[in-house]
Chains A and B, each alone.
Chain A
Amino acid sequence: MKKIFSSWNNLFVAAIALFFFSLAGCSKSAETVTPALPGNEFLTTVQLQLTNTTDPTDVQLCSSTQMSPYTHTYQVDSIYNSAAFLRLKANATYTGRVIILDETQTPVDTVSTEILARENYHLFFFEPSPVLASNFLVSNTTTYIPQDDWLTGQPASDTTAFGISVNESTASSAATALNLVVNRTDMDNNNPPLQIGLQDNFVTGAASSGILRVVLRHQPNAKNGTYDPGSTDLDVTYAITIY
C-alpha cells in the first residue's frame, strides 16, 4: 500500500487529473474589433446625367455639391444647389446615370466607380415629389422611398434650386404631381441579382414640376432590394421641371 500511495504515484495521478482538467478548460472564443480605417473618400458632389433616348443631343446634367464655389473647399454642413435642377421634356424617356465625385482629390476621384465595384451592397432610391399616390408603390424593385423616411418637417428655408421646399408629399391627381417615374436598369452580382441604380431610366409624363430626392443606401450584408436595411451614404434633392 505504501508503494501505491507514494509521492511519485501521486504525481502520476495528478498528471492524469491535470490532463482531464486541461481538456475541459482549453476551449474558449476570442474576439477582435476592427475599427474603420483612415482615408475614406468624401462624397462631395452628386450629379445626374440624362440623355434623351430619342434625341441624343438632349443631354441634361444636374449637380448637387458640398464644394464651396467661392473657396473650392469641402463644406461639410453646406449644400450648393445652384446647378441642382433638371429640365426634362414631357412624355420622354431618358437614360440616366449617377455620377459621384470626391472633389477634394486632385485629380477629382470618381467615387461612383467604387460604388459600382461595391455594387453588392449599395442601392439607389429616387423619390419624385409630389408623387402621384396611385403610382407610389414601395417594393424590392421600385425606387420609391418609404413614407416614414420622407422629408416632411423641414424648415421653409431648406430648399433646393429655385427655392422649392425639399419636403415630400403625395398628389391625388396627375395635374398636381411631378410626372416622373425612375426605374433602375443595372443589376449587381448577388444571387439572385439585385438592382443597383447607377444606371436608370427616367420616364416623364405631362408637364409638371417638383423635386427628385436621391438616396444611396449602404447595406453591407443586408441588401435585399428594399430601403430599410443599412445606412445612408448620400441624400440629395434636385428641382425638376418637365415641360
Chain B
Amino acid sequence: MKSTKILLLLAAVFSLSITSFAQQKPATFIGAEGGISLPLGNFGKASTASSLMSINGTVNDLSGYGKLGGFGALNGAWFFSRNFGIGGLIKYGTYHLKNVDSLSQGYEESFDVDTTRTTTTDYKMWSVMPGIYFNLPLAKKFDLTARALVGIAHASTPNITVSIEDGGVFDQSVVQGSASKTTFAWDIGAGFRYEITRCLAIDARADYFYTKPDFTIPNSGRNNNAGREVKEYNQPLESVNFSLGIAYQFSKHKK
C-alpha cells in the first residue's frame, strides 16, 4: 500500500509538472560538465599478485585495472518539441591504473628478481556522441533531464613499463605499449537541471557509458616467456559517470 501511495504521488507530481510547466519548448543550450567515472566489469577489475606469478607468463589477463577516473565534456541540444530534442556530447576522460603494486609484484615474482619498477600511464578516451535529449519540467526552475546518445569513442590503453633489477643488474625493461582504437559507443543517463538565472542552469546527472574496442597490444622488450603479457584486450570499457555541469540557455530570455 505504501508503495502504491508513493507511485500515485509521483504520478500526480508529474502530471502537475507537465500541465504547469510544459507549455513551451525547453531552451536550446550548450554546456560543460565534468565529474567522476567508475569503471565497471573487467575494465575496473585488478588481478591479484598471486594470480600473475605464473612463471611461464600470464597471457591476456582480462583485468583492465581501471581506477576511478575523471572526465570533462561539452554538450548541447536543440528541442523540437516540449520534451524532446537532438543534441550531442564531446567527452574526454582518463583513468589511472589501480593496484599497480600487485601488478608490479606479479612481475617481480614471475621473473624472480630483486626489484621491479613499474611505470604506468592512463587510459584515455575521447567520445563524440549525438543523440536524443529529453526534458521534463518538475517545478518552475527544476527539470528532469535524460539523454540517449550513440556515437564513436577513441580509446587508448595505458603504457606499462616494467624495469627489472636483480643482483644489482638492470635487465631490459618489459614494455606493454599503448594501443588505440576507434569504435562504436553509447551513453544513456538522466539527471536534474536547476535554472539559476534565465540563461544559466546547473546540471547534476548520472550516465552509463559503453564501448568495446578490440585492442591489439604492442609488446616490446620481452626476451623470455615470463610475467603478465597482454596481446589482445577485447573487454567492454563500461562505466557509470557522475557529473556536475553548467549550461547556457540561449532562448530562455525570449519567454
Contact = CB atoms under 8 A, between A and B. Distances in A.
B200 A223 contact: no
A141 interface: no
A135 interface: no
Contact of B112 (A19, A28, A121): A121
A64 B105 CA distance: 33
Given A15-B246, A30-B96, A34-B101, A120 B226 contact: yes
B171 A31 contact: no
Interface stretch (B3-11, B114-122, B183-191, B209-217): B114-122
B221 A221 contact: yes
Interface string B130-161: 00000000000000000000000000000100
Given A31-B119, A220-B164, A223-B224, A120 B104 contact: no
Given A11-B246, A117-B55, A221 B118 contact: no
B174 interface: yes
Contact of A224 (B119, B200, B223, B227): B223
A35 B225 contact: no
Nearest to B121: A29
Interface size of A as a range: 35 or more
B166 A220 contact: yes
A26 B117 contact: no
A140 interface: no
A19 B72 contact: yes
B92 interface: yes
Contacts, number: 150
Contacts of B223: 190, 221-224
B197 interface: yes
Contact of B167 (A27, A33, A35, A218): A218
Contacts of A219: 171, 224
A76 interface: no
B179 interface: no
Contact of B200 (A12, A118, A121): A12
B68 interface: no
A220 B111 contact: yes
B167 A221 contact: no
A176 interface: no
Contacts of A190: 223-225
A30 B97 contact: yes
- Residue among A3, A18, A34 with max Cβ neighbours from chain B (10 Å): A34
B32 A220 contact: no
A185 interface: no
Interface string B86-123: 00000010101100110111011101111111111110
**Interface-central residue, A18, A222, A229, A232, by most chain B CB under 10 Å:** A222
B169 A230 contact: yes
Nearest to A120: B224
A22 interface: yes
A129 B70 CA distance: 65
B85 interface: no
Interface of B: 32, 34, 55-56, 70, 72-74, 92, 94, 96-97, 100-101, 103-105, 107-109, 111-122, 124, 159, 164, 166-169, 171-174, 196-197, 199-200, 221-227, 245-246, 248, 253
19 contacts: A8-B200, A19-B34, A23-B72, A26-B122, A27-B124, A29-B119, A29-B122, A30-B119, A31-B117, A32-B120, A34-B107, A34-B118, A35-B115, A118-B226, A120-B225, A190-B225, A218-B112, A221-B172, A223-B223
Interface of A: 3, 6, 8-9, 11-12, 15-16, 18-20, 22-23, 26-37, 117-118, 120-121, 189-191, 218-224, 229-232
5 pairs of A and B residues whose beta carbons are closest in the complex: A231-B167, A220-B111, A34-B104, A222-B171, A19-B72
Given A32-B100, A222-B172, 12 more contacts: A9-B200, A12-B246, A27-B121, A29-B120, A33-B116, A33-B118, A120-B56, A120-B226, A221-B173, A229-B169, A229-B171, A230-B166
